Amino acid sequence: MTTADHYAERERRAKENDGWDLADDEIKCPRLLVGRPCLNEDEPGKCWCSSRLKDHAATWFERGGTAFVLWEPYGPVDDEELADLFAKAHADCLQVEICASPWNPGRTIGIRFRLDDRRLMGWLVDE
């Protein structure tokens, strides 16, 4: 199977299983979802999106048109590394969840980033 075949199969699985559509753009840093710049623009390696977990990164649309960024790293994933990623994403007003990965099911995991409206509007405050 060629690389192009893998990408086509991922798109098919995502559409069929979850109703997701791949975006045409190349947004891979979740900070862009909330209007914040990727920190790598000024200093490579500075942004938390430099994580090794950012594998097969792409922007997708849910049914209804809501955009999200999906990273699909191969496992296993270290709990501390994941906790650190969640904390940094939450600080940038993003929701993060682990989900099924359409890239290589069973070998990769999905890490899904979405805008957290409650956090962005100041309605949700960490204790």
Q: What is the mean pLDDT of residues 88-97?
A: 94
The domain tally of the chain equals 1
Sign for the pseudo-dihedral over CA of 58, 27, 112, 85:
positive
Q: Where does the chain have alpha helices with state H?
A: 3-18, 79-91, 117-120
Tell me, yes or no, whether 114 lies in a domain.
yes
Distance in angstroms (rounded) separating the CA atoms of residues 72 and 89: 16
Degrees to nearest 5, angle at CA 22 with 4 and 41: 90
For residues 81-103, average pLDDT: 94
Q: How many helices, marked H, and strands, marked E, lie in the chain?
A: 3, 5
- % of the chain with per-residue pLDDT over 70: 92
Is residue 73 included in any domain, yes or no?
Answer: yes
Domain interval for residue 35: 3-120
pLDDT of residue 16: 94
In contact, 17 and 102? CB cutoff 8 Å? yes
- The answer to which of 22-31, 88-97, 105-114 has the lowest mean pLDDT is 22-31
78 within some domain: yes
Answer yes or no: is 27 within a domain.
yes
Is 58's pLDDT higher than 60?
yes
The reply to whether omega before 105 is within 30° of 0 (cis) is no
Residue 127 maps to a domain:
no
Please tell me the distance from the alpha carbon of residue 29 to that of residue 77, in angstroms, as a whole number. Answer: 19
Task: List the Cα angle 119/120/124 in 5-degree steps.
Answer: 20
